[in-house]
């Protein structure tokens, strides 16, 4: 059976006419299917960049337009550019119904083989990760987070990659099947979270990083200095039980209330003495660890209508979108990586 259009890989060896003027709502005009573009440059090994694995996270397209525009004739280094979920991008959503999430189906995933896992396999075969300079996957997130890199393997070069982007980096080993994980053991790899979709500062920051990678000769041989990079990892996921009402406004009536500036707590440490939220129910949150086990009572306590954490932790990827919260989670809690 022929795979659906959204799992058919197109191969190109140049940018199509109109690439630099392309807007996300006309992306299907130039890229009707996922596309891998190989551009020759002065230097090898090539850099691999993937964009739009999540359709609504379109900063990656803007970043690559900004990076490539000055090099109309010749790039400083060869480049593979993979343009992922173009149909979801056109529809401005992460993944379309019936598709597999494009950042969960790379080699090493735990899914049964399907059209999407086969397509990512095909990408990997083409780009030969063992011969790449580095692999960068460009993403956005929903809340007001700093820009940061995610690593799935803590190697000296991966740490240099992360520190090039920010002094804080996130290490994660789950979920499986994310793009960056497919490069473990082959070449330096990182996911870059470039703020909210379309955010100008995130686009500029991402473009500077990619441009630097196109020019660099090699990563530093020395291990990274501890003050140049703080590595953190996700300890737990916070969910709000379906029967608990909530709001982000201290004057609202709800079972669970956060202050309106809650989003600004992203990547800041919250001490056990600091009020995390206000609650009028005894179990306003459910907290699960990386293995999905319930660790609510270990992590938090409710005292006199106030929610406290039992140890100093850092919330991240806070979202205020009520649908997203019900569908995925409220935020993650991070701790130092060791
Ligand atoms: Zn994403």
146 pLDDT higher than 80: yes
From ligand 1's centre to the CA of 134, what distance in Å?
Answer: 19
Lowest mean pLDDT among 134-138, 194-198, 322-326: 322-326
The Å distance, Cα 100 to ligand 1 centre, comes to 13
Give per-residue pLDDT as tens, 201-256: 999 999 999 999 999 999 998 999 989 999 999 999 999 999 999 999 999 999 99
Residue 6 — very low, low, confident or very high, per pLDDT cuts 50/70/90? very high
| Whole-number percent of the chain with pLDDT over 90 | 90
CA of 52 to the centre of ligand 1 (A): 8
Share of the chain above pLDDT 70, in %: 100
Q: Report pTM.
A: 0.91
Checking if the pLDDT of 185 tops 90, the result is yes
pLDDT of residue 173: 85
**Region 299-322: what's the mean pLDDT?**
94
pLDDT of the residue at 104? 96
The pLDDT of residue 154 is 96
CA of 101 to the centre of ligand 1 (A): 10
Q: Please tell me the predicted confidence (pLDDT) of residue 101.
A: 96
Helix H, strand E, coil C: the string for the chain is: CCCCHHHCCEEECCCCCCHHHCCHHHHHHHCCCCEEEEECEEEEEEEEEEECCCCCCCHHHHHHHHHHHHHCCCEEEEEEEEECCHHHHHCCCCCCCCCCCCCCCCCCCCCCCCHHHHHHHHHHHHHCHHHCCEEEEEECCCCCCCCEEEECCCCHHHHHHHHHHCCEEEECCCCCCCHHHHHCCCCCEEEEECCCCCCHHHHHHHHHHHHHHHHCCCCCCCCCCHHHCEEEEEEEEEECCCCCCEECCCCCCCCEECCCCHHHHCCCCECCCCCCEEECCCCCCEEEECCCCECHHHHEEEECCEEEECCCEEEECCCCCHHHHHHCCCEEEEEECC
Q: How confident is the model at residue 1 (pLDDT cuts 50, 70, 90)?
A: confident
Which pLDDT value is given to residue 143? 77
Question: Crossing angle, helix 59-68 and helix 200-215, to 10 degrees?
Answer: 50
| pLDDT of 226 | 87
Query: What are the residues whose beta carbon lies below 5 Å from ligand 1 (ion)?
Result: 54, 57, 139
Cα→Cα distances 93→61, 258, 320, Å: 15, 27, 17
pLDDT score of 290: 84
How many angstroms does the Cα of residue 205 sit away from the middle of ligand 1?
A: 17
Q: Give me ligand 1 centre to Cα 59, in Å.
A: 11
Distance in Å, CA 111 to ligand 1 centroid: 19
* Average confidence (pLDDT) over 105-116: 96
Taking the centre of ligand 1 as the mean of its atom positions, its distance from the CA of residue 57, in whole angstroms, is 6
Report whether pLDDT(72) > 80: no
What is the 112 CA–ligand 1 centroid distance (Å)?
22
| pLDDT average, residue stretch 321-332 | 90
Mean pLDDT, to the nearest integer, of 123-133? 97
Query: Tell me, what's the pLDDT at 119?
Result: 98
What pLDDT digit, counting tens, does each position of 259-309 carry? 999 999 999 999 999 999 999 999 999 999 988 899 999 999 999 999 999
Q: How remote is the CA of residue 139 from the centroid of ligand 1, in Å?
A: 5
């Amino acid at each position: 059976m022929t795979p659906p259009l959204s799992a058919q890989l197109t191969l190109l060896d140049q940018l199509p006419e109109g690439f630099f003027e392309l807007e996300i709502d006309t992306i299907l005009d130039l890229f009707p299917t996922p596309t891998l573009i190989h551009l020759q440059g002065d230097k090898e090994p090539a850099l691999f960049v993937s964009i739009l694995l999540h359709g609504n996270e379109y900063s990656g397209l803007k970043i690559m337009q900004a990076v490539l525009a000055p090099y109309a004739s010749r790039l400083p280094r060869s480049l593979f550019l993979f343009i992922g979920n173009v149909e979801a991008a056109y529809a401005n959503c992460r993944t379309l119904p019936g598709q597999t999430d494009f950042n969960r189906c790379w080699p090493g995933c735990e899914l049964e083989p399907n059209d999407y896992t086969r397509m990512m396999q095909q990408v990997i075969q083409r780009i030969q990760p063992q011969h790449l300079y580095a692999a960068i996957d460009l993403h956005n997130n929903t809340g007001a987070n700093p820009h940061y890199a995610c690593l799935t393997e803590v190697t000296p070069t991966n740490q240099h990659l992360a520190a090039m982007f920010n002094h804080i980096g996130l290490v994660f080993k789950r979920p499986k099947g994310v793009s960056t994980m497919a490069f473990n053991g082959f070449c330096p790899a990182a996911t870059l979270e470039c703020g909210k979709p379309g955010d100008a500062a995130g686009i500029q920051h991402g473009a500077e990083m990619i441009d630097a990678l196109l020019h660099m000769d090699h990563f530093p041989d020395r291990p990274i200095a501890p003050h140049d990079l703080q590595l953190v990892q996700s300890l737990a996921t916070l969910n709000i039980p379906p029967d608990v009402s909530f709001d982000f406004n201290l004057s609202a009536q709800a079972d669970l209330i956060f202050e309106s500036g809650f989003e600004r707590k992203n990547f800041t440490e919250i001490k056990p003495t600091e009020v995390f939220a206000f609650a009028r129910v005894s179990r306003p949150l459910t907290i699960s660890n990386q293995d999905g086990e319930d660790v609510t009572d270990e992590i938090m306590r409710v005292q006199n209508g106030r929610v406290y954490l039992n140890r100093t932790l850092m919330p991240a990827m806070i979202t205020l979108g009520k649908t997203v919260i019900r569908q995925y989670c409220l935020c993650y809690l991070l701790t130092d990586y060791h």
